[in-house]
Amino acid sequence: MGTMPFDLLLLLLPGAGRLPGDAASLATIKASELRAHVEFLASDELEGREAGSEAEGVAAAYLASRLHAFGLKPGGDEGGWLQHFRQGGRVMRNVVGILEGSDPRRRSEVVVLGAHFDHVGRGGAQSGGMGPKGEIHNGADDNASGTAALLELAEAFASAPPARTLVFAHFSGEEKGLLGSKHYVESPALPLESTVAMVNLDMIGRSRESYLFVGGLGTSPGWPAIVARAGESEKLALETAEGGRAPSDNTPFYEKGIPCLFLFTNIHEDYHGPGDDAEKLDYAGIERIGRAAWRLVAEVANAEGRLPFKEADSTALPADFGKRMRERMGGNRVRLGVRTGEPGPEGGLPVEEVFEGSPAASAGILDGDLLLAIGDAPLRTRAELMAALGKVKRGESARLRIRRGVEEISVEVRFPAEAPSRSSESRPARRDP
C-alpha cells in the first residue's frame, strides 16, 4: 500500500467512521454553485426582492424548484412549498422544505436551518434611509449569500440525511421586522417542542481572511465545543458571542426556548445600499462557512442526545458592529447634532436640543433657536433639513440663518472631515442586517 493517503485508506476500510460520506456531502457545497444562486437572486430582474412584491414570488419559486430537485418534501401550507402570511394587505411567502431523518427513533426531532431571502427592494424607507429611494438594492450579501448557502446545504444533506429531520426555512419579511420567522414559530412546519436547534445564516458573503461571527453560543452548553470544532475544521477565524438575540431570524426561535446560532460576516459600506452586488462577494468564503454550518448541523442532528437549552438574553453582534454602523450611517452625510420639534406656523424648525460636541454646538446654536435656512434652502420641514444636509460634504461648512427671539442671525457651521462621534448623531440607529 505504501504511499496511499490516509483519507483514501479510510475510504477503503469498511465502517471506518463517518469520513467518506461526510467528504462526499461536503463536496456538493461549491463556490461556483453559490455564485450562480446569488447571481440570479441579486440580479436586477429580481428588483431587490421586497417582501410581498412580484419579484419576491419569482425568488420563492426559484427556491422551491431547487428544494424539489434536491428531493426534499414541501413543508408549506396545504402540502405546498410556501407558507403565506400578511402585512398591510400584502401577502408574503416563506419557502419551506423538509428532509426526513434517517433514524426511525430520532427522526421525530428537528433541526431548523434558516436564511431570509427578502431584501429592501428599491431602497428609501425600506433600507432604513441608508440607500437612495428608487434604485434597485440587489442584496447580494443581504441575504442572497445566506440563501445560496442554505440551498447548497439542502443539496449536501439530501445526499446523505442525518439521523434527525432537517427543516430548510427560507424566510421572507425579515427586512420588515422578522415577519417570516415570527410567522414560522407560530405556524411551524414541524412542532417546536421537537425542534432541537436553529441555525440562521444572515449576511455571510463578505468573509475576507476567513472571518466569521457566530452568535448564540450561550443558548446551549453544547454549542461552544461544537462551534469550535466546526470553525477549526474549516480554518475559520471565529468571533463568538453568547446572546440568543440578534437583529435577525434566530431571535423568534430564541424566544421560544430553542438553542440557536447566528452566522454573520458583519456589515460594510454597501450595507442596505444599491452597491450590495454579486461581484463583491467572497464565494470561497461562503463555501467554507457553508461547510462549517454543515459540520455543526450534522453534529447536532446526529448526536445521541438532544441539545439542552440555556437562557442567554442579550443581543449578539460583532464587537465593531456599532462602529461600522456609525460609519455606514455617517457615510457621506454630515450631521448637525440637534433635535428639532414640529415646524412653527410661520415656518422654520425649532431646536429642542443641541447635542454636546456637535457641529451645531460648536457653531453656537442654542435650544429655542428657530432654523430658517441653510444657504439658500429654506427649512420648513425635517425632510428639507435632511435634504439640505445631504448636499453638504464632510470637511465643508455651511451658513445657517436662524431666528433667535426677535433677531435674525447667521452662523457658519463647520462639519468635521472624520465620521461623526456618537454624541453628535441626531439619533443612533440600528437596523436589521
Binding site for Zn ion (CB under 5 A): 142, 433
Q: What is the DSSP letter of 111?
A: E
Compute the distance between CA of residue 150 and CA of residue 38 in angstroms, rounded to an integer: 11
Reference 257, options 216, 295, 294, 298; nearest CA is 216
Q: At 94, phi and psi to the nearest 5? A: -85, 155
CA atoms within 13 A on the CB side of 241: 19
List % helix, strand, coil for the chain (3-state, nearest 5): 35, 20, 45
Q: What is the DSSP letter of 73?
A: E
- Residue 346, Cβ density class (10 Å: 0-12 exposed, 13-18 middle, ≥19 buried): exposed
Q: Which is nearer to Zn ion, 281 or 372 (CB)?
A: 281
Q: Which is nearer to Zn ion, 59 or 297 (CB)?
A: 59
Q: Which is nearer to Zn ion, 130 or 371 (CB)?
A: 130
Q: Which is nearer to Zn ion, 141 or 384 (CB)?
A: 141
Compute the distance between CA of residue 433 and CA of residue 431 in angstroms, rounded to an integer: 6
Set of cell numbers at residue 418: 472624520
Q: Which is nearer to Zn ion, 231 or 433 (CB)?
A: 433
Provide, rounded to whole angstroms, the least separation between the CB of residue 22 and Zn ion. Answer: 33
Q: Which is nearer to Zn ion, 180 or 359 (CB)?
A: 180
Compute the distance between CA of residue 403 and CA of residue 330 in angstroms, rounded to an integer: 28
Provide, rounded to whole angstroms, the least separation between the CB of residue 119 and Zn ion. Answer: 7
Q: Which is nearer to Zn ion, 159 or 315 (CB)?
A: 315
Q: What is the CA radius of gyration of the chain?
A: 25
Provide, rounded to whole angstroms, the least separation between the CB of residue 33 and Zn ion. Answer: 23
Reference 410, options 375, 362, 381, 385; nearest CA is 375
Provide, rounded to whole angstroms, the least separation between the CB of residue 143 and Zn ion. Answer: 7
Q: How many CB atoms lie within 10 A of CB 49?
A: 29
Q: Which is nearer to Zn ion, 116 or 295 (CB)?
A: 116
Q: Which is nearer to Zn ion, 276 or 369 (CB)?
A: 276
CB–CB of 55/49 below 8 Å?
Answer: yes
Q: Which is nearer to Zn ion, 131 or 259 (CB)?
A: 131
Provide, rounded to whole angstroms, the least separation between the CB of residue 203 and Zn ion. Answer: 7
Taking CA atoms, 342 is separated from 346, 379, 426, in Å, by 12, 12, 15
Q: How many CB atoms lie within 10 A of CB 179?
A: 24
CA atoms within 13 A on the CB side of 185: 17
Provide, rounded to whole angstroms, the least separation between the CB of residue 105 and Zn ion. Answer: 40
Find the residue with minimal CB distance to Zn ion: 142
Provide, rounded to whole angstroms, the least separation between the CB of residue 118 and Zn ion. Answer: 9
Provide, rounded to whole angstroms, the least separation between the CB of residue 30 and Zn ion. Answer: 26
* DSSP E strands, 104-252: 110-116, 165-171, 195-201, 211-215, 237-241
DSSP string for residues in 100-157? --S-TTTTTSEEEEEEE--B-TT-GGGGTT-S-TTS----IIIIIIHHHHHHHHHHHH
Element (H, E) at 233: helix 223-233
Set of cell numbers at residue 206: 463578505
Provide, rounded to whole angstroms, the least separation between the CB of residue 304 and Zn ion. Answer: 38
Provide, rounded to whole angstroms, the least separation between the CB of residue 432 and Zn ion. Answer: 5
Q: Which is nearer to Zn ion, 253 or 264 (CB)?
A: 264
Compute the distance between CA of residue 367 and CA of residue 336 in angstroms, rounded to an integer: 13
Provide, rounded to whole angstroms, the least separation between the CB of residue 401 and Zn ion. Answer: 38
